[in-house]
A and B are shown apart, each in its own frame.
Chain A
Amino acid sequence: MKSAVIVFPASNCDRDAATALESLTGHKTEMVWHQDTDLPNVDLVVLPGGFSYGDYLRSGAMAGQSAIMRAVKAHAEKGGAVLGICNGFQVLTESHLLPGALMKNAGLKFVCRPVTLEVSETQSAFTRFYENGQKVVFPVAHGDGNYFADPETLDRLEGEGRIAFRYAEGDNPNGSVRNIAGILNATRNVLGLMPHPERVVDPLLGGTDGIPMFKSLIEALS
């Protein structure tokens, strides 16, 4: 599997994503600058965590308009895989590759801690190596992770099996509606999630629950 990580100004999990991908795929990950207009020939594009453009207008809003996003959209429309983590999820909703919006955390504060998630959809290139209903622990680190969409959209997401991850009951760190932590697009090749799978790929750093996501992608896309 060949992969690329987009670097927006003030992306700050770009290196973490690349390190995780390189350690699991054994291939070099391409770092793509936000002003570029073309993507290299890759199977997976990662929109990393961080504070793109300082998150000054709305989280992910300006990054959603950057030059490279046209190429990312084209990649997604052709069926290419796109993984948006944290700020990357915000960019995906702002650029309408995913529905809904990410609002300020219900507690109004930035929150960084491990949270327990429930894998609620395994039929995707991102989640096939998990069990349905499996509990996994990923860290979150965000101020705007409170997912919201109108009830019809939420019903559709649920009906189509597009809610990939939910916060375990009682462990929702941001007040997101229906405990949503991560969702798929209609064609199931775009995943956005607030928790950080790339931070749980090394037992020394608090767990390995992120590894099955990358293994799923490697199997699906290689």
Chain B
Amino acid sequence: MTAITPQIVKDHGLSEAEYARIKELLGRDPNLVELGVFSVMWSEHCSYKSTRVHLKKLPTKAPWVLQGPGENAGVIDIGDGDACIFKMESHNHPSFIEPYQGAATGVGGIMRDVFTMGARPVAMMNALRFGAPDHPKTRHLVSGVVAGIGGYGNCMGVPTVGGEVNFHRSYNGNILVNAMCVGLARTDRIFLSAAKGAGNPVVYIGSKTGRDGIHGATMASAEFSEDSEEKRPTVQVGDPFTEKLLLEACLELMATDAIIAIQDMGAAGLTSSSAEMGDKGGSGIELDLDKVPQREPNMTAYDMMLSESQERMLAVLKPGREKEAEAIFRKWELDFAVIGITTDTHRLVVRHKGEVVADMPITALSDAAPVYERPFVEAAPQEGAPVFDPSRDVMQSLVKLVGSPDMCSRRWVWEQYDNTVMNDTVQRPGGDAAVVRVHGSSKGLAITTDVTPRYCFADPYEGAKQAVAESWRNICAVGGRPMAVTDNLNFGNPEKPRNMWQIVAGVAGIGEACRALDYPVISGNCSLYNETNGEGILPTPAIGGVGLLKDVQRMATVALKRAGDALILIGATNGHLGQSIYLREIEGKEEGAAPPVDLSAEKRNGDLVRGLIEQGRVDTCHDLSDGGLLAALAEMAMAGGIGAQIALPEGAAAIPFLFGEDQARYLVAVPSANAAGILAEAKTAGVPAASLGVTGGDKIAVKDVGAVAIGALRKAYEAWFPAYLGGSELPPSN
């Protein structure tokens, strides 16, 4: 067998101290297979070694949380025996190297995380971040990622109902592809991964194992350099057809009671699925690799244990149920093989060609994995109110804003996603949150992904709070009760103290906001080392939120619906321009303090708005975020094809009032007869609310400031994406 040299240890991404610890745990030198297994299990991607101590501080419990972090996905109770299962996960590194397959397998992976728990996936979202539009790789990456997401999700027949797309030069060398999957199951039919008991058959189901993706998890745990292109062979290739069969076959098997435990083979494939199942079940696992369905000849034990071939699952069955399970998988023309057995030894023992090729205590792989309290250097948040030119033409700025890369219509993107398959999409992409009906009921799930990375860069703590608050607000804005979140923490190299501070402060901010809003974190994923040649990304803790609508008939959308409605602004406006889109796009500055988030105001204001929607008194609502009040009003007008006339409150300066990004605000449109009652109710609830004007006409007009036709706005709004991806012009850099 190959002798383990320091170079081999280094190539596996393990430090000298970590290698010494492995030897201590084993009481001997590991062989190459064992070293490979340790390297993936102890990688940042699988072990969360830099973040674990901080993630423990997140709130994860609520009476409606059935399963918090630690399983394949989190589970909440949505009443009537229904459970909602969801998680968001990154596939950043592979997507940068090979955008189509990287994004496609990201979608496939997160779907397996959800259906391995017994849920039928019902909605997909994705939060995408790309480099500057004028960076030479950006077009290629955008079109590849979008096509990959569509290619996989469309074939699966799960609607992709929304998400985010942002551009910033900090992502030039590290794009972010975060995919979220939401599924539905019955609360009494949820499947976990604990391989309890000895003597139970371990079965392999799905696709055959090939050599693709070996060491993907290790790749995702290191910085990129110029030679990252050479890592293309570590990117897996997706086969959505097989995954669709796997989904149906798993759900069919799950309708029986043959399964003890089941887990998808994601990062680190057979290694992590077997080790995690044994660990959670307190059992041991023996695998015979000769039984593993193989795609190519002469695969070594090392190859098989580390392969990240897609569309595979590992399950532990009740003894004697193998035939019944096999019949289901044969019907779906999938591979099925009994490849091992559970034991009471607490060891992972791997045999190949009659020899034991690995024999390790399972706790050494999981519990004994290193945990680091990495040093961090606290950085003061950016502060101050930036200078702006008060004489600029407001309406020209508005047209420029709605036509800017981060604000313009994402139609080019979401028209490539089947967003209506399954016949339950009640609110399509383009609103504050997507709404998907719970099939066969009147309930709905509101789903959104949010984060404003420029705020997080200026102030990691307030920025992370804002991401949670905006997610909560987006759900309230459609009339949903926010239930829980999944977090996808994208940061740079945690070994750099400045980055580690962003992580520590970001997790603390998420924790504070989730506690204040009663909005627990039930699942998540960390993606660190998003750096190329030492340049890190903006801190991007993406929040995927899910809320519940009791009745999808009582739902708000952003589109203005009637002329003559009163426009009411809910929440306080101070005109906060620091870190705003206006400042960046119009003044060319990325400066100032991020907007502060008052969580009790968020709660008060959101509770009021949701109540009004639930009572059927508000059907038109938009949360105010990027671009502030005037951008929100423009979006509402374009969506409804109805204009509006508003006036500034006395003494308000036009630009800060119209474009400031103060938090905890909503704009609602209601029949004018209902306006007085709503204003009075807001006053009683301690919620600032003011009537700004009325809907009607074909333009947006601000008294004493200016006016612009909806047609001109729409032209700018719809033009950027198709023109950019059509390659017809090089857009301005941000």
Contacts and interface: CB of A to CB of B under 8 A. Distances in A.
Interface of A: 9-10, 12-13, 15-16, 19-20, 49-51, 53-56, 109-113, 139, 141, 143, 196, 198-199, 202, 204-206
A50 B157 CA distance: 7
Interface string B101-123: 00000000000000000000000
B154 interface: yes
B421 A12 contact: yes
Contacts of A196: 420
B240 interface: yes
Given A15-B422, A53-B241, A111 B415 contact: yes
Contacts of B421: 12-13, 16, 49, 141, 199
Given A20-B423, A205-B424, A112 B156 contact: no
B4 to A, nearest CB: 42
Interface in B226-254: 239-242, 244-245
A141 B420 contact: yes
B240 A51 contact: yes
A109 B416 contact: yes
B423 A199 contact: yes
**Among A10, A50, A143, A206, which residue has the most Cβ atoms of chain B within 10 A?**
A10
B418 A110 contact: yes
Contact of A54 (B155, B417, B552): B155
Contacts of B552: 204
A55 B157 CA distance: 13
B532 interface: no
Contact of B423 (A9, A10, A19): A19
B600 interface: no
B422 A56 contact: no
A143 to B, nearest CB: 8
B274 interface: no
B577 interface: no
A78 to B, nearest CB: 29
Given A199-B423, A205-B425, A205-B426, A12 B147 contact: no
A139 B421 CA distance: 10
A65 B553 CA distance: 44
27 contacts: A9-B245, A10-B240, A10-B244, A10-B245, A12-B155, A12-B157, A13-B421, A20-B423, A49-B421, A50-B157, A51-B240, A53-B241, A54-B155, A54-B240, A54-B241, A109-B416, A110-B418, A112-B414, A112-B417, A112-B418, A113-B415, A141-B154, A141-B418, A143-B154, A199-B420, A205-B420, A205-B424
Interface residues of B, number: 32
B213 interface: no
Given A12-B155, A12-B157, A112-B418, A51 B244 contact: yes
B332 interface: yes
Interface of B: 147, 150-151, 154-157, 239-242, 244-245, 332-333, 414-426, 428, 437, 552-553
B443 to A, nearest CB: 12
Given A16-B421, A51-B240, A198-B423, A9 B437 contact: no
Given A10-B157, A110-B150, A205-B424, 18 more contacts: A9-B333, A10-B241, A10-B244, A15-B422, A16-B422, A50-B155, A50-B157, A51-B154, A51-B244, A54-B155, A109-B416, A110-B416, A110-B418, A112-B418, A112-B420, A141-B154, A196-B420, A199-B421
Given A110-B150, A141-B421, A51 B155 contact: yes
B332 A9 contact: yes
B378 to A, nearest CB: 47
B239 A54 contact: yes
Nearest to A16: B423
Contact of A112 (B155, B240, B333, B419): B419
Nearest to A114: B420
A12 B156 contact: yes
Contacts of A15: 422-423
A199 B159 CA distance: 13
A109 B428 CA distance: 19
A15 B147 CA distance: 25
B241 A9 contact: yes
Nearest to B158: A12
B420 A56 contact: no
A192 B241 CA distance: 23
Nearest to B419: A112
Contacts of B553: 204
B269 to A, nearest CB: 22
A13 B147 contact: no
A54 B207 CA distance: 14
Nearest to B424: A205
A-B pairs, 8 with minimum CB distance: A12-B157, A54-B241, A51-B155, A141-B418, A10-B244, A16-B423, A112-B418, A110-B416
B420 A206 contact: yes
Contacts of B422: 15-16
B241 A56 contact: yes
A198 B553 CA distance: 20
B48 to A, nearest CB: 35
Contacts of B245: 9-10
Contacts of B154: 51, 110, 112, 141, 143
Nearest to B440: A19
Contacts of B417: 110, 112
Nearest to B553: A204
A112 B158 CA distance: 13
Contacts of A19: 423
B556 to A, nearest CB: 14
Contacts of B242: 54
A112 B424 CA distance: 15
A202 B423 contact: yes
A112 B415 CA distance: 5
A139 B244 CA distance: 23
A205 B437 CA distance: 10
A206 B159 CA distance: 15
Contacts of A113: 415
Contacts of A53: 241
Contacts of A199: 420-421, 423
Contacts of B423: 15-16, 19-20, 198-199, 202, 205
A205 B425 CA distance: 6
A56 B151 CA distance: 12
A18 B423 CA distance: 11
A65 B147 CA distance: 29
A143 B147 CA distance: 11
Contacts of B151: 110
A54 B104 CA distance: 14
Nearest to A54: B241
